[in-house]
Amino acid sequence: MRSDAARPAAAGRLTPALDVLALLAAGAPVPGCARRPEVRVEDAWVRSAERTSLTAGYFTLVNDGRVPLVLASVSCPLAADTRMHTTVRDRGIVSMHEVDHFDVPARSRLRFRPGGNHLMLIDLRTRLLPGASAPLTLRLGDGRTLEATARVRS
Ligand SMILES: [Cu+2]
């Protein structure tokens, strides 16, 4: 005759280890082991503006996910208007153009950096001194928003 009572005890002893393996296999966060979000903003900074009411901002939007996304707009409460620009070189002439949105494919990075894509922060409400910070809100095409803190530097 088989002993049913022995089985649950044995299974119970194995369960904790199996649970952790199942969590790892599912990619779930394990306590004490923080994971970076798949979609995130890195290296956000804004050029200091002590005498002008206009400056530029930069960041990297990381999309480590399997789904493409769209960067629809960026705003900063320290500026009356924030626009996304790209820099274009055509036969030696450098100009910048406003961009309505950026497509960010799955597993890619969208970089804003000097000489390339950049934010224009227009009609600053305050001087931006090195060491200060400026909050940025990135709005995605699906309605999600990402908050970032940009360091002000010269
Ligand atoms: Cu510009």
- pTM of the predicted model over 0.85: no
Domain with residues 39-153, CATH architecture = Sandwich (2.60)
Contacts of 146 (CB under 8 A, 6+ apart): 39, 40, 41, 61, 137, 138, 140
The Å distance, Cα 57 to ligand 1 centre, comes to 9
Low-confidence ranges of the chain (pLDDT < 50): 5-6, 8-15
pLDDT at 27: 56
The Å distance, Cα 118 to ligand 1 centre, comes to 6
Q: Which residue has the tokens 């153009």?
A: 97
The Å distance, Cα 56 to ligand 1 centre, comes to 7
The Å distance, Cα 142 to ligand 1 centre, comes to 25
pLDDT at 28: 56
Strands (E), 20-53: 39-47
Contacts of 101 (CB under 8 A, 6+ apart): 70, 71, 72, 73, 84, 141
The Å distance, Cα 79 to ligand 1 centre, comes to 14
pLDDT at 21: 54
pLDDT at 107: 98
The Å distance, Cα 107 to ligand 1 centre, comes to 27
Using DSSP's 3-state secondary structure scheme, residue 103 falls into: strand
The Å distance, Cα 96 to ligand 1 centre, comes to 5
Residues in the chain: 154
Domain ranges of the chain: 39-153
Rounded Cα gap, residues 102 and 70, in angstroms:
6
The Å distance, Cα 51 to ligand 1 centre, comes to 18
> Cα–Cα distances in Å, from 70 out to 34, 38, 106, 139?
26, 14, 10, 9
The Å distance, Cα 76 to ligand 1 centre, comes to 15
Rounded Cα gap, residues 85 and 98, in angstroms:
4
